[in-house]
Amino acid sequence: MAILLVDDHPLLRLGLARVLEQGLEGLAIVQAGSGEEALLRVAEQVPGLVIMDYELPGISGLETTRRLRQRLPQLRVLFFSEHRELGLVRQALDAGACGFLSKDAEPGVVLEAVRRVLSGHAYIEQSLATELALQVPGSHARLQGLTPREIEIFRLLAKGSSSRVIARQLCLSSKTVSNYLTLLKSKLQVGSQAEMVHLAIETGLLKRVA
């Protein structure tokens, strides 16, 4: 069985590959350094599991997951990211991921997550699953009317990405992204970039910088 590791850091891919090879038998590890390369690898050979980073050069891990799942709805994807914001966990699950794991997880936890996802179950790292379960319903009501695509663009805009950069990452036109910006300001009832950043932090889509 093949597992595709998608991350732009070669040393991290190497370390993760060793953990998997030492803990699981009969694996063929395939690697990709970007979303575009991941799409090519899956076209060549459909893996049993894709372990996906969130932030990648070019198209994001979210967009890559959406495209893979549109092409292969049965494909299982486990996010493996340094980001732990609950908003990002929700985005990953909405995009079709079967689980979410942080990069500071112990090797044993990584192996447990991979085994569970390969056996057909979902897996969310315990601390993140607890935080999700303890959240007050409706606490992020302002985001409930947004589509997954709108939430992704909202986060990128709040991070300071320009419409041109977002368009390139998501394979959209700059005009389409500008239209999304206008729609988001209306839906979220914000009038400035600063308000957008504040709301993104408040809802957990961005970390507050100390």
> Is residue 158 situated within a structural domain?
yes
Q: Are residues 7 and 92 in the same domain?
A: yes
Q: Which domain holds residue 96?
A: 2-134
128 and 170 share one domain: no
DSSP state letters, 93-142: HHTT-SEEEETT--HHHHHHHHHHHHTT--EE-HHHHHHHHHSPTTTTGG
Q: Does the pLDDT at position 126 exceed 80?
A: no
Please tell me whether residues 41 and 105 are part of one structural domain: yes
Q: Is residue 195 part of a domain?
A: yes
**φ, ψ (nearest 5 deg) of residue 116:** -65, -45
Which long-range contacts link 105-111 to residues 24+ away (Cβ below 8 Å)? Answer: 107/19, 107/23, 110/16, 110/19, 110/20, 110/80, 111/19, 111/20, 111/23, 111/24
pTM above 0.85, yes or no: no
- Report the amino acid identity of residue 35: G
The tally of domains found in the chain comes to 2
Write the pLDDT tens digit of every residue in 36-93: 999 999 999 999 999 999 888 888 899 999 999 999 999 999 999 887 777 788 888 8
Q: What is the CATH number of the domain that holds 187?
A: 1.10.10.10
Q: Which of the four pLDDT bands, split at 50, 70 and 90, describes residue 138?
A: very low
Domain final residue, candidates 134, 162, 193? 134
Lookup result for tokens 């709040």? 158
120 φψ region: left (φ > 0), alpha (ψ -120 to 50), beta (else)? left
